[in-house]
Amino acid sequence: MAEADPNFGGERTDETTAGRRPLRKRLLTYVAGAVLIGGVGFGAWYALVGSHYVSTDNAYVGADTASVTPMVAAQVAAVAVADTQAVRKGDTLVRLDDSDARIALAQAEADLAKVRRQYGQTSATSAALAAQVQARNADIARARAQLVSAEADYERARVDLARRQRLAPNGAVSGEELTAATNSFSSARANLELARAGIAQASSTRGAAAGELAANDALISGTTAATAPEVLAAQARLAQARLDLERTVIRAPIDGVITRRNVQVGQRVAPGAQLMLIVPVGQLYVDANFKEGQLAKVKIGQAVTLKSDLYGGDVEYHGKVVGLSGGTGSSFALIPAQNATGNWIKVVQRLPVRVALDPKELQAHPLRVGLSMDAEIDISRN
């Protein structure tokens, strides 16, 4: 039995302590019950709802930007846009000095006209060469007739000379007659050789004319003034000159917003130099970087709910998974991590997941490249 304390009332204190013990036990029981109920509730929520979603706040807006570059070298004559300006496909962005392009176009047009005339001249030459071949045939026929005549004269002179040579020993033919007959025979023989040479020359001339005709016909055979190779080549150069002239006006390839404009009037630009970028704000996507342990059930086509820091939780975007990257960001770094040194600490890796956004929602609440997003994937649907 406890001793009484005249100053503090010891017996009453023991009774109070004994009374508080059941209260403390009940409170601990309530707390344990609440924790148990909370754990069961969380487990039930995770089993029914939470396990069906994976989320991350490591997500950013991206876009396939269009790079505006010139196709010809020229001096910048005018710049029609500025940074942050919205443009439509086909709008004029930059005008280049087209003086050189116009001169090149005029030269190409002149070259085409010249080639067409040359083709016409070649066609006319074929007709002239064909006439020359016919003329050479006539020359051959005339040479052959002369050969027949020369052969007849030669035979007559030979017979006449032979007769006088037989009569000369008897004195029936004077020496003068014999000399004249000999000279006539020699002249007839020379004329015969000349006639034979004339046939050979006429045949050679005809062969040369036929060769020229064949060579000329080879240039135009199977072609017309529209299909000749020289004409087609000149037409191609003309088309290139026209294209170069058109390219002095640089137009927007897509709808979007101008960014990183770095071109000024008077600057001379070269083909391929980047003048500006166009961001297609109506065709944005989100790259959500999920931890590797969250990706086991992520599939292409799953629904994604997103929120932007720009608008807060009041605005939700709805998209779908369209692809998973082929590797983590660190694996494609300029200097990839090397874990073979022995000083290795495991770091949880993240893999970019591409999420396509609804164009109508983007139009209602525009986003910009690089903005932060929260992404939640519904993995309950495969």
Of 64, 51, 90, 94, the closest CA to residue 76 belongs to 94
The pLDDT confidence band at residue 21, using thresholds 50, 70 and 90, is low
Query: Which span out of 43-52, 102-111, 208-217, 318-327 was modeled with the highest average pLDDT?
Result: 102-111
Of 139, 84, 97, 49, the closest CA to residue 244 belongs to 97
Greater pLDDT, 161 or 45: 161
pLDDT tens for each residue of 354-372? 999 999 999 899 999 999 9
Length of the chain: 382
What whole-number distance in Å separates Cα of residue 119 and Cα of residue 111? 12
Of 243, 270, 268, the closest CA to residue 104 belongs to 243
The pLDDT score that the predictor gives to residue 67 is: 95
> Is the model's pLDDT at 340 over the cut of 80?
no
> Is the model's pLDDT at 242 over the cut of 50?
yes
Residue written as tokens 């709808």? 255
When the pLDDT of each residue in the chain is averaged and rounded to a whole number, the result is: 82
Sign of CA dihedral 193, 199, 202, 204: negative
The pLDDT score that the predictor gives to residue 4 is: 47
Query: Which span out of 8-12, 338-342, 366-370 was modeled with the highest average pLDDT?
Result: 366-370
pLDDT tens for each residue of 39-93? 766 665 555 554 678 889 999 999 999 999 999 999 999 999 999 999 999 999 9
> Who contacts 312 (Cβ-Cβ below 8 Å, separation ≥6)?
none
What whole-number distance in Å separates Cα of residue 243 and Cα of residue 249? 10
The pLDDT score that the predictor gives to residue 342 is: 65
Q: What is the CA radius of gyration of the chain?
A: 53
The pLDDT score that the predictor gives to residue 50 is: 47
The pLDDT confidence band at residue 1, using thresholds 50, 70 and 90, is very low
The pLDDT confidence band at residue 8, using thresholds 50, 70 and 90, is very low
pLDDT tens for each residue of 274-296? 999 999 988 899 999 999 888 88
Please name every residue paired with 259 in a beta bridge, in sequence order, or none if there are none: 277
Rounded mean pLDDT, 339-366: 84
> Are the C-beta atoms of 172 and 204 separated by less than 8 Å?
no
Please name every residue paired with 94 in a beta bridge, in sequence order, or none if there are none: 79, 250
The pLDDT score that the predictor gives to residue 186 is: 83
Rounded mean pLDDT, 25-39: 74
Q: Show the domains of the chain with their CATH numbers.
A: 66-100+245-278 (2.40.50.100), 101-243 (1.10.287)
pLDDT tens for each residue of 110-150? 999 998 888 777 777 767 777 777 777 777 788 788 878 87
pLDDT tens for each residue of 296-312? 889 999 999 999 989 98
Greater pLDDT, 371 or 381: 371
What whole-number distance in Å separates Cα of residue 129 and Cα of residue 163? 51
Rounded mean pLDDT, 144-159: 81
> Is the model's pLDDT at 3 over the cut of 50?
no
What whole-number distance in Å separates Cα of residue 39 and Cα of residue 288? 30
> Are the C-beta atoms of 228 and 119 separated by less than 8 Å?
yes
What whole-number distance in Å separates Cα of residue 219 and Cα of residue 192? 41
The pLDDT score that the predictor gives to residue 256 is: 93
Backbone angles phi, psi at 93, to 5 degrees: -105, -50
The pLDDT score that the predictor gives to residue 314 is: 87
- Strands (DSSP E) contained in the chain are 53-62, 66-68, 74-79, 86-87, 92-96, 249-251, 256-259, 268-269, 276-279, 285-291, 303-308, 312-324, 350-357, 372-378
- Three-class secondary structure assignment of 169-202: HHCCCCHHHHHHHHHHHHHHHHHHHHHHHHHHHH
The pLDDT confidence band at residue 157, using thresholds 50, 70 and 90, is confident
The pLDDT score that the predictor gives to residue 253 is: 95
> Is the model's pLDDT at 13 over the cut of 60?
no
